[in-house]
Structure 1
Amino acid sequence: MKENMLEWMKLGNTTLPNALLTSYKLLNIDETELLLLIHVYSFTERGNSFPTPNEISSLMTINSTQCSDMLRRLIQKGLIEIQDGHSSDGIRFEKYSLDPLWDKLLDVFLQQKKAKDVMNQQTIETDVYTCFEQEFGRPLSPFECETLALWMDDDRHDPVIIKAALKEAVISGKLNFRYIDRILFEWKKNGIKTVEQAKNYGKRFRPHQQQTKNKQIERPENKTEPIPFYNWLEQ
């Protein structure tokens, strides 16, 4: 039993990228072609870089002729190629290369990632519009929608920061686009890039705002001029 286990371990393992298993159909190959490619890769990993159709088909449910035809199709599809090589003593030999397969697989992965990033960005932007409409209690006007788009596309404000500026405007009781635009301008000028930085920046003025409001309530209007609380638009 122990000897059988050692023999089994000597066969080694074949490690494949999961992207090959999840995206092979995007490379226009079927399951049988995929398995053939895996066998070619496995042979190469074990030191046989140019296995014959007989060697490959002996591990599959296809015969040697079918294996030859399939190898030819994979070469035509640009997923595998035959390269020339030379041994250390100068003997010329041929070998299979799967570099074209890995190149195409990487292209597919990058295309999928780009599409996913675009979808995520669209979701984030939609969420920003939804937050604004909820706070304003109405659909945004075309001009307001354009302003939001300019903040994200031209000014490169992070959507999270835009929502933080919206929240700051709500807290300050100044719910309008001009005020929010001024907040974003001040934050960018002062190097504020995170929500935490924005919170800390706003907290420096909020106590003063509350004290001002309290004083306005306590003092008669005809005796003392009210002290203006912090206003972003005046900066």
Structure 2
Amino acid sequence: MNEETFQTFMNSGSLAVPNQLLLHYSKLGLTEDELVLILQIQYYLQKGELFPTPAQLSESMSISVTNCSNLLRGLIQHGFLKIEEYEDNHIQCEKYSIDPLWSKLYQFFMSEMNGANQKKKEQEEGNLYKIFEQEFARPLSPFESETLSIWIDQDHHDVEMIKAALREAVLSGKVNFRYIDRILFDWKKNGITTIEQARQHAKKFRANQQTNKQKPSQTEASDYKRKVPFYNWLEQ
């Protein structure tokens, strides 16, 4: 057999190992020996041998049959592996299943993702408090801080929508929590859930206001602009 033939032979069969398992097996509580043993079991399952013996499994590993048996017992006890019964030609048989491992890996992945999402949410909420304090030019009162928490946790307003409502209040020259709450209530009542929808709604509102009142004088307009220190809603 030449090298080219050997390479073809080596590529003729492979074992699929999820990247997440290789990256996080130790965080799941698996040792290197246990990981390799699970991969050996997966190899035998892929070949159609559903219940390899400890002797078969240890042949390709650097552990004894006794140690292999102990590892198998531990994997089953800790919920990484299970033995299932099935019927083959009316004969009761047993087989290994590594589905519990995939279940644990999924739970770990979801936990990590939820943790990242929670951290991101906490950062967004912290930034939200800073933005409000910047616009109000003072620290928020305990009541105002509680109102922000209620908007997020009880009313389930999106953080970005709360920022948008603050921008609208600034542009209207009414920077207070009661007015912002009215904006959020109005948006929720009208089914407005995105920044673009809120922007279009605000444009229509101001257009209607403009037709119902006289155009302000140049002095009034200049005074009005000075009331909008940070945000320009229409340019966002």
TM over 0.5: yes
Higher mean displacement: 133-142 or 68-77: 68-77
- The residue type equivalent to 1:4 in the other structure is F
Q: Report the TM-score when normalising by structure 2.
A: 0.81
Q: Given the alignment of the two structures, is residue 198 of structure 1 paired with residue 198 of structure 2, yes or no? A: yes
Write the distance in 1 (CA, Å) between the matches of 2:185 and 2:102.
Answer: 46
Residue aligning to 2:231: none
Match of 1:175 in 2: 175
Which residue in 1 is equivalent to 2:15? 14
What residue in structure 2 maps to residue 163 of structure 1? 163
1:110-138, Cα deviation, whole Å (9 max, x unpaired): 33333233222222221211211111121
Q: TM-score, normalised by structure 1?
A: 0.81
Distance 1:215 1:64 in 2: 91
- 2:76 aligned partner: 75
Whichever residue aligns with residue 177 of structure 1, its letter is F
Structure-2 separation of matches of 1:83 and 1:216: 83
- The alignment partner of 2:94 has SS state of strand
Partner of 2:31: 30
Gaps of 5+ in 1: 220-235
Partners of 2:216 and 2:122 in 1: CA distance: 46
Describe the shift of the 1:213–1:175 C-alpha distance in structure 2 as closer, same or farther (beyond 3 A).
farther
Aligned-pair identity (%): 46
| CA distance 1:124–1:73, shift in 2 (3 Å) | same
The 2-side partners of 1:13 and 1:26 are apart by 25
> Match of 1:121, as an amino acid?
K
The verdict on how the C-alpha distance between 1:176 and 1:93 changes in structure 2, with shifts beyond 3 A counting, is: same
Name the Cα RMSD after superposition. Answer: 2.5
In 2: Cα distance, 1:215 partner to 1:102 partner: 67
Deviation at 1:104, TM superposition (A): 2.4
Number of equivalences: 217
Residues 82 and 217 of structure 1: is their aligned pair in 2 closer, same or farther, counting only changes over 3 Å? Answer: closer
* Paired position in structure 2 for 1:226: none
By how many angstroms is 1:42 displaced? 1.7
Q: How much does 1:207 deviate?
A: 5.4
For residue 92 of structure 1, report the CA deviation from its aligned partner: 3.7
Q: Which has the higher contact order (CA 8 A, sep 6+)?
A: 2
Structure 1 residues 202 and 66 mapped into 2: Cα distance closer, same or farther (>3 Å)?
same
How far apart are the structure 2 equivalents of 1:108 and 1:218? Answer: 62
Q: How does 1:72-221 map to 2 (within 5 A)?
A: 72-87=73-88, 89-206=89-206, 214-217=215-218
